[in-house]
């Protein structure tokens, strides 16, 4: 796993035991372009207070782009808001197509999203864990 992936797992694991995690590659291995970063995960025991805490932390962080913590499905996802809006949500089959289109046609967006994403991960590594 990449260093970025290890850092993301470490950050998220602070808030609970991970049952599942996914992070796309930073660079497309075949074509070499930067890809839109987003991260999906699931805790073995999801807690509403942890979800609200992570959402608030992501929302409060100054970033170049708008980001969403989407919990509409079983897995939680941090993703640029633009992707969700253009795709019509995570459950829409257009989500993958939207990500691919942005990857291929808007490298400036992908680069800014990657900088933001790394800031989000660093922030999640250092914010306090909510008390019970």
Confidence band for 91, pLDDT divided at 50, 70 and 90: confident
Residues 34, 117 contacting (CB under 8 angstroms): no
Residues 26, 4 contacting (CB under 8 angstroms): yes
Residues of the chain above pLDDT 90, percent: 84
Q: What is the pTM of this model?
A: 0.93
Task: Tell me the sheet residues that pair with 39.
Answer: 78
* Model confidence pLDDT, tens digit, residues 40-76: 999 999 999 999 999 999 999 999 999 999 998 899 9
Confidence band for 87, pLDDT divided at 50, 70 and 90: very high
Mean pLDDT of the chain: 94
């Amino acid at each position: 796993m990449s260093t970025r992936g290890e850092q993301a797992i470490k950050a998220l694991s602070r808030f609970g035991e991970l049952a599942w995690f996914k992070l796309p590659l930073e660079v497309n291995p075949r074509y070499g372009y930067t890809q839109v970063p987003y991260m999906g995960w699931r805790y073995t025991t999801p807690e509403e207070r942890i979800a609200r805490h992570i959402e608030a932390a992501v929302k409060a962080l100054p970033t170049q782009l708008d980001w969403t913590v989407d919990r509409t499905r079983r897995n939680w996802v941090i993703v640029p808001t633009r992707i969700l809006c253009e795709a019509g949500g995570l459950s829409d089959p257009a989500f993958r197509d939207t990500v691919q289109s942005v990857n291929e046609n808007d490298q400036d967006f992908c680069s800014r999203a990657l900088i933001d994403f790394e800031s989000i991960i660093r922030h999640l590594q250092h914010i306090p864990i909510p008390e019970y």
